[in-house]
Amino acid sequence: MSVNEVKIKRAPNAFELRGTGPDTSRTFVLGDEDHTLGNALRHVLINDARVDFAGYCVPHPSEPVVHVRVQSNTASRGGRGGGGESAEVGGRRGMDREDVEEVLIDDYDGRPLTAVEALREACATLSSQCDMVLEKLMEAAPEVKEDMERMDRYMEEDRMNEEEEEEEDEDE
């Protein structure tokens, strides 16, 4: 490795779940990620009416991790409105208590949305949004597809080179 070459530090874990207590509140540590994914996930999460809080941070610029904090609503709290005749949930005003609870309850079995489920749904939403943008971009600019295929080849070559380097390091 030359003097000007920088070896990027890898995260020890690709994914870590932190937090105890109710399932509606967790912190997720995503390895080898940065502000790009953290802010995009936060945006998708905070636009879900069933999520009370979503935030992220990068603990230190030299650490290749992002922490994403998710706190979802619980049906017993009655949403963000505080229990009056009408409440505000995700920017929706004028909903009565039954409507609020219907929004807050997960569709699967009547239980509140867990933080893990909220993150899973946010990841699926973000992935579908990225796919749609990429599809539209490839329609508008066909050379993007060629560039994408070339980048995929380069990434495969890099992955194979890294594997070879790791094998050489293990042999020494």
Per-residue pLDDT reduced to its tens digit, 73-116: 875 334 443 333 333 333 333 444 455 445 444 455 678 899 99
Query: For residue 75, what pLDDT is reported?
Result: 59
Residues 121 and 162 in one domain: no
Is residue 63 a part of any domain in this protein? yes
44 pLDDT band, cuts 50/70/90, is: very high
**Which residues span the domain enclosing 153?**
141-172
pTM of the model: 0.68
- For the chain, the domain total comes to 2
Choose the weakest-confidence range: 7-16, 42-51, 58-67, 76-85: 76-85
Query: For residue 23, what pLDDT is reported?
Result: 94
Full 3-state SS string of 76-93: HHCCCCCCCCCEEECCEE
* Better pLDDT: 1 or 2: 2
* Better pLDDT: 86 or 47: 47
Residues 117 and 153 in one domain: no
Mean pLDDT of 27-55: 96
Query: For residue 168, what pLDDT is reported?
Result: 84
Is residue 9 a part of any domain in this protein? no
CATH number for the domain that contains residue 53: 3.30.1360.10
Residues 117 and 65 in one domain: yes
Burial 48-59 (b: 16+ CB within 10 A, else e): bbbbbebebeee
Residue 131 pLDDT more than 70? yes
Query: For residue 106, what pLDDT is reported?
Result: 42
Query: For residue 35, what pLDDT is reported?
Result: 96
Query: For residue 102, what pLDDT is reported?
Result: 53
Is residue 145 a part of any domain in this protein? yes
The rounded distance, in Å, linking the Cα atoms of 45 and 69 is 10
The rounded distance, in Å, linking the Cα atoms of 1 and 3 is 7
Distance of alpha carbon 40 from its chain centroid, rounded?
Answer: 7
Residues 135 and 168 in one domain: no
Residue 26 pLDDT more than 80? yes
